[in-house]
Structure 1
Amino acid sequence: MSGIVVIDEVELHLHSNLQREILPKLIKRFPKVQFIITSHSPLFILGIEKSFGSSGYELYQMPEGRRIGAEMFSEFQKAYEYLASTEKYQSDISKRINDSRSKPLVVTEGKTDWIHLKAAYSHLKTVEDHKALFEGMDIEFLEFIDDMGDTQLCSLCKSTAKVKRDNVVIFIADADKPAVTKDLAAIPPTADTTEPVKHFRFHSTEACSKTYSFILPIPQHRELTPLISMEHYYTDDQIKSEVECSDGIKRRLYIGGEFDSTGMGDGVRCGKKSSNKCGGGRIDIIDDDVYKAEKGSTANIALSKIDFAENIAQRTVPFENVDYENFIPIFEIIREILIAEGLITE
C-alpha cells in the first residue's frame, strides 16, 4: 500500500499513551505511505524518535518551516517518565486500599503523617484518662514511604468512594492548602439545622463506599497560624529539638519564621531550594537545605521529616517524653465516624 496521509493536530484525537507508543508503531507498519502530521504534543515527537531514530523522520517547526531535532523535547521525556512512575505509584496505593477489607483504614497525606498518627494512637490508647475515647477503636494506617500530595489524596478519596467495600476508609488531609483539599473538608451545617455539627465528610455514592474524610483540626496552640501540617501538632520547642545523627552532625527541623525573606537566620542560612518557605510569620516546616551561615559551610544541618518522625515514634532522646495530647482532636473525629458507621457506641 502506498499513498499520503495528512493528520492535523493528532493530539486532539488520541490519549497521550497512544500518541507516544501506538501511533509511531502504526506509522512504521506502512513504509510506503508518507505521513504528514501536525502536532503540539512532545509525547508524539518522542514516540517517533523512539520508533524511527533521528534519521528516520523530519521535524519542522511552524510557521517558520525550520527543521529541528527531538532533543529539544528531552525535558518532556523526563516529565513523561515521572508521570508514568507517579501513575503507577497511585495505582499501587489504590490497590492496597482496595485490598484492605477488615479494620477501618486511615489514609494520610504526607509520607510521615501515618508514622506520627500511629505513634500517637499506640501511646494515647494506653493512657488512663483517654480510655473512654479509644474504647472499641481498632484502626490501622496505610503505611507508605513515598510522598502523596494533597492532589493525589483528593483523587484517591474520590476513586475509593466509587468502590463498594466492607470496611471504613478515612482520608485525612493537612490544613495548609484549603483551596486544594476543600472537597475533603466537613460540609458546614445549614442555618436551620438542628443536627449536631459533623467534623467529617461522608462521600456518599451508590456503591456504599464507606469513605470519609476530614481536614486536620487546628490544635489550640496553632489557632493564630491555622495553615498547618502534621508536624505542627508538636510544640515549636519539640519541632526544634536537635538530634545527633550517625555522621556526628546535630540536626533539627526548622520553621520558616526563623529566617528572613532572603533566607538568613541566626547563624544559619537557607538554600535556594527552601527559600520560598522563609520569612517573618511563616510556619512552613523546613527539613533540608539549611547550612551554618559561616562562609564555606556546605553540610546540611536540617533534619529530614522522616528522621524526625522515626525518632519521635521510637521515643529517642530528646523525644522520650512526648505526650501526644495535641493529637486528641484527630481521634475524636475518627471516633465520630466509627459511631456514625455503628462500629462503636457513644
Structure 2
Amino acid sequence: MRIFKKQKQKYNSLAQDIRMYKIPLKRAEEIIKPFKDKWIYVKLISNIYSKYNDDTSQSGMYSKFKVRNIYFNDSSILIYGFEDSDRLFLSKSNLVQTECSNELDEVKLIYQEKDIFIEIYIKMYLPNMERRLHEIEDSKNHLIITEGKTDWKHLKNALFQLKAEGKFKQLDIDFFEYENEVQMGNDVLKRICSYQSLFENEKLKIFIFDSDDKKINEEHQGHDYINHGNNVYSLVLPIPKHREATPLISIENYYQDCEIKTEDANQRRLYLAHEFDLTTGKHSILENVYTPLVKDKMENNHIIDNKVFKINDKIVYKKDIFNNEKKENIALSKNRFATYILDRISPFDTISVQSFELVFDIIASIFNDYYHQDKKHDVGEEISPGIYLEKHDNHFEVLSIHGSCSKKVALKIKEATHVSYAMKLSNDKRSVLLSLQFQNEEIECPIQISQKFLGFLHKKAQNKFNRIELHICDEDKNYISHKEIMNDDLCVVLIKGIFNELNN
C-alpha cells in the first residue's frame, strides 16, 4: 500500500515505521544532539512518485561515520563527520515527518521535494575493532591512546578542568575514545604502540599504560617517557604522592580514597580491597556487605567494582557468598564511575583532578620534544632518486617515495581521500613507472629496478604490512603531507604483473 501522496503533507501525517513513534522536530533535534563524537549509520531510501500511475520507484544508499559536529538553525540540520565526504545537510522546510526508536538511539526523518520522498534513518552505530583501530593510524591530530576504556574518560575530564584553570592550554590533543568494541589491555596497547612506531607519523601518538604491570613498569623505569621513534611515545602513569606506599595503581587511584567511595543516586559506589576481611569477605564497617574477590597479596588500593553483595544471612567463609541466592550486587562499575565524572554528574563533579597534573606535565615534555626535535630523520637507504628503503628489526620494510610539486597540487594530495594508481615497466625494462592520481591530478614516479627494490616488491606481495609511503613537499621544500598508498589487493596483482613481464 502506497503511503505517499503527491501534494505537500501535513507534518507527521504519514504512516509511521512499525519500530518507531512520531515526535516533533524539536524533540528529534534533542535526540540527535548527543550523537556528536559518536559513530552513526545513515541510511537514505528515495521513493519517487510517478505522475502517470500509482507506482513508486525506490533506491537506497547508506554510510557510516563518526560525527564531528552537529548544527541546528532555523532552516537547516547539518551533521559533519571527520572526513570531508562525511556530511548530511537537510532543509527543515522540506521535512514532513520525524520519528524515533523506543531506545532513543535512532531517528527517522522523511524529506519531501516535489515528487520525491526520502526516508533518512540516523542510528548510533558500534563499529568493529578493525575500523576503530584504523582511527589511530589515520588520526589528523595529536592522539592519546590509553590502556582501558575508562582511562581516556578520566584524562579527558582532567585536561578539560585543568585547562579551565589556565593550565596546559598548549596541549592540543585528542583522545582515542572507545568502549567495549575495542578490547585493549596492556598487551594489546603495547603491540599497537610497537606497530605504530614502525611507520612515519606526522602527529604525536602517546600511549599511556596503567602502573599495575611490573614488566611494563620495569621497561619505563628511570624514564618519564620512552620515545619509540616516528613521533610515537609511551609512558606509565606516574605515582601521585598519596599512592607512593602502593605504587601498583590504576587510574582511579589518582583520586583520594574518600573520592573513590563517592555514591551515586542509587547508593552504588566503588570499593577498595582493604575494606574487606580476607577470610569472610565481610566489609569492615558496612553491615551485611560482602565480596568474594579479595585475596592474599592483593594491593590495599585495588579497586573492586563488581560482585560486592548485600546479604542478610550470616557468612562465615567467602565460598558461602556464591551459594547465597538472595545476594544483591551493590557495586558501581568503573565505567559508570568514569562516565559520571566525564559528564559532570553531581556529586562526582566536585572530585579533584589535581593529581592528573603529573600526567600532563609529562605530556607537555613530550610536546616540547616533538616541537624541538630535528625533523630530518633516517629514511633508509636511497635505492633510486627520491626512493628510500627502510628495514625494521621485525623484518618489515617501508618504501618511502619523496617528491615535490606546487603547493596547490601538494594540498590536493594531502586532502585526497582516495588514491588511484598503476604500475608498468619502462620500455627498456630498467625502471618501474608508478603513476598516482589524486583529485584530477597525476604524478609519475620512476623507480630504478634493483635487487633490493625487487626484493621489497616480493615481500609486499606476500604481506601488505610492508608499506609504501608517499611524502610530498611544496616547491619551497616545505613538508606538506605523507600518506600510505597501495595497501589493497590491486597492488599484489600489479606486482605479479611486473614480475611476469620481467621473466618474459
Structure 1 residue 94, shift from structure 2 partner: 3.2
1:98 aligns with 2:137: yes
Distance between the aligned counterparts of 2:340 and 2:330, measured in 1?
A: 16
Q: In the alignment, is the contact (CA less than 8 A) between 1:259 and 1:279 conserved in 2?
A: no
1:173 aligns with 2:173: no
Which string of whole-angstrom CA distances, capped at 9 and with x for unpartnered residues, describes residues 287-323 of structure 1?
1111124225422100011110111112222222223
Q: In the alignment, is the contact (CA less than 8 A) between 2:311 and 2:327 conserved in 1?
A: no
1:230 aligns with 2:264: no
What does residue 84 of structure 1 align with?
A: none
Corresponding residue to 1:244 among 265, 268, 273? 265
3-state SS, counterpart of residue 176 of structure 1: coil
Q: Which amino acid letter does the alignment assign opposite residue 264 of structure 1? A: K
Q: In the alignment, is the contact (CA less than 8 A) between 1:150 and 1:181 conserved in 2?
A: no
Q: In the alignment, is the contact (CA less than 8 A) between 1:259 and 1:269 conserved in 2?
A: yes
Which string of whole-angstrom CA distances, capped at 9 and with x for unpartnered residues, describes residues 24-49 of structure 1?
xxxxxxxxxxxxxxxxxxxxxxxxxx
- Structure 1 residues 302 and 343: alpha-carbon distance in aligned structure 2, compared to 1, 3 A threshold: farther
1:258 aligns with 2:275: yes
Corresponding residue to 1:216 among 237, 240, 263? 237
3-state SS, counterpart of residue 290 of structure 2: strand
Q: Which amino acid letter does the alignment assign opposite residue 251 of structure 2? A: M
What does residue 155 of structure 2 align with?
A: 117
What does residue 194 of structure 2 align with?
A: 158
Q: In the alignment, is the contact (CA less than 8 A) between 1:174 and 1:228 conserved in 2?
A: yes
Structure 1 residue 333, shift from structure 2 partner: 0.4
3-state SS, counterpart of residue 166 of structure 1: coil
Structure 1 residue 215, shift from structure 2 partner: 0.3
What does residue 226 of structure 2 align with?
A: 201
Distance between the aligned counterparts of 1:323 and 1:257, measured in 2?
A: 22
What does residue 21 of structure 2 align with?
A: none
Distance between the aligned counterparts of 1:281 and 1:228, measured in 2?
A: 9
What does residue 107 of structure 1 align with?
A: 145
Q: In the alignment, is the contact (CA less than 8 A) between 1:234 and 1:326 conserved in 2?
A: yes
Distance between the aligned counterparts of 1:139 and 1:343, measured in 2?
A: 18
What does residue 291 of structure 1 align with?
A: 309
Which string of whole-angstrom CA distances, capped at 9 and with x for unpartnered residues, describes residues 262-283 of structure 1?
3222331113xx344x778521
What does residue 308 of structure 1 align with?
A: 337
3-state SS, counterpart of residue 106 of structure 1: strand
Distance between the aligned counterparts of 1:251 and 1:175, measured in 2?
A: 26
Q: After the TM superposition, which of the residue ranges 312-321 and 235-244 deviates more from structure 2?
A: 312-321
Q: Which amino acid letter does the alignment assign opposite residue 107 of structure 1? A: I
Distance between the aligned counterparts of 2:269 and 2:372, measured in 1?
A: 41
Q: Percent identity?
A: 37
Distance between the aligned counterparts of 1:142 and 1:98, measured in 2?
A: 11
Structure 1 residue 256, shift from structure 2 partner: 0.9
Q: In the alignment, is the contact (CA less than 8 A) between 1:109 and 1:149 conserved in 2?
A: yes
Q: Which amino acid letter does the alignment assign opposite residue 290 of structure 2? A: R
What does residue 282 of structure 1 align with?
A: 300
Corresponding residue to 2:174 among 112, 135, 140? 140
Which string of whole-angstrom CA distances, capped at 9 and with x for unpartnered residues, describes residues 26-79 of structure 1?
xxxxxxxxxxxxxxxxxxxxxxxxxxxxxxxxxxxxxxxxxxxxxxxxxxxxxx
3-state SS, counterpart of residue 171 of structure 2: coil
Structure 1 residue 120, shift from structure 2 partner: 0.5
Q: Which amino acid letter does the alignment assign opposite residue 256 of structure 1? A: A
Give the number of the structure whose alpha-carbon radius of gyration is greater.
Answer: 2
Which string of whole-angstrom CA distances, capped at 9 and with x for unpartnered residues, describes residues 219-267 of structure 1?
111111110000000110010111124xxxx210001111122322233
Q: In the alignment, is the contact (CA less than 8 A) between 2:273 and 2:304 conserved in 1?
A: yes
Distance between the aligned counterparts of 1:163 and 1:104, measured in 2?
A: 15
Distance between the aligned counterparts of 2:338 and 2:202, measured in 1?
A: 31
Structure 2 gap segments, 5+ residues each = 1-127, 314-324, 374-504
Q: Which amino acid letter does the alignment assign opposite residue 224 of structure 2? A: H
Structure with the bigger percentage of strand = 2
Q: Which amino acid letter does the alignment assign opposite residue 199 of structure 2? A: V
